[in-house]
Amino acid sequence: MLITDEQRAAMLANGREYARNPAFNPVPVVKLFDPLGSGTWLLTDLNPEDPDIAAGLCDLGFGFPELGSVRISELEAVRTMPIRRGIGIEQDRFFRPTKTITDYADEARRNQRISG
C-alpha cells in the first residue's frame, strides 16, 4: 500500500477543500518515488468522486515536472511488471513538507526536477 489510511483521509479532505475552493494551496501529504528510476510524486489530494485519482506535483524524470494527476492503482501496479522483479514505487517515509505545493512546483520548474 502506497498511502496509509491516515494519509488517505487527509488527501480526501484536501480533495473536498479543492472542490469548494480552487485557490486552495496545501502542503503535500505524501512523497512517492521510483527506486529504479527518477520518477517522483508529491501528492496533495484525492478526488472525492474517484479516490484512485491523486493530484499533486508529478516528475517523471524528463526535466518537466508539472502539477497534474495520477492513478494510485497505476503506481501500485508498477511492482507487478516482470522487468521490475517485484520492486515498485515506494513512499519516502522521511519526507516532511516544508512549503505549499505551488512553492514545490515553482522550485521544481527552476531545477527541472523535484528536489527535497
- Quick: pLDDT tens for 10-54: 999 999 999 999 999 999 999 999 999 889 999 999 999 999 999
The beta-carbon contacts of 34-43 under 8 Å, at least 24 apart in sequence, are 34/61, 34/78, 34/89, 34/90, 35/87, 35/90, 36/84, 36/87, 37/61, 38/113, 39/89, 40/65, 40/113, 40/114, 41/70, 41/75, 41/89, 42/97, 42/101, 42/104, 42/114, 43/3, 43/11, 43/70
Q: What phi, psi does 22 have (nearest 5°)?
A: -60, -15
How does the average pLDDT of the chain come out, rounded?
95
| Number of neighbours of residue 55 by Cβ within 10 angstroms | 20
| Res 21: pLDDT | 97
pTM comes to: 0.94
Q: Is 85 part of any domain?
A: yes
Residue 106: band (very low, low, confident or very high) from pLDDT cuts 50, 70, 90? very high
Q: Is 116 part of any domain?
A: no
Q: Is 48 part of any domain?
A: yes
- The number of folded domains in the chain is 1
Domain that holds residue 74: 5-111
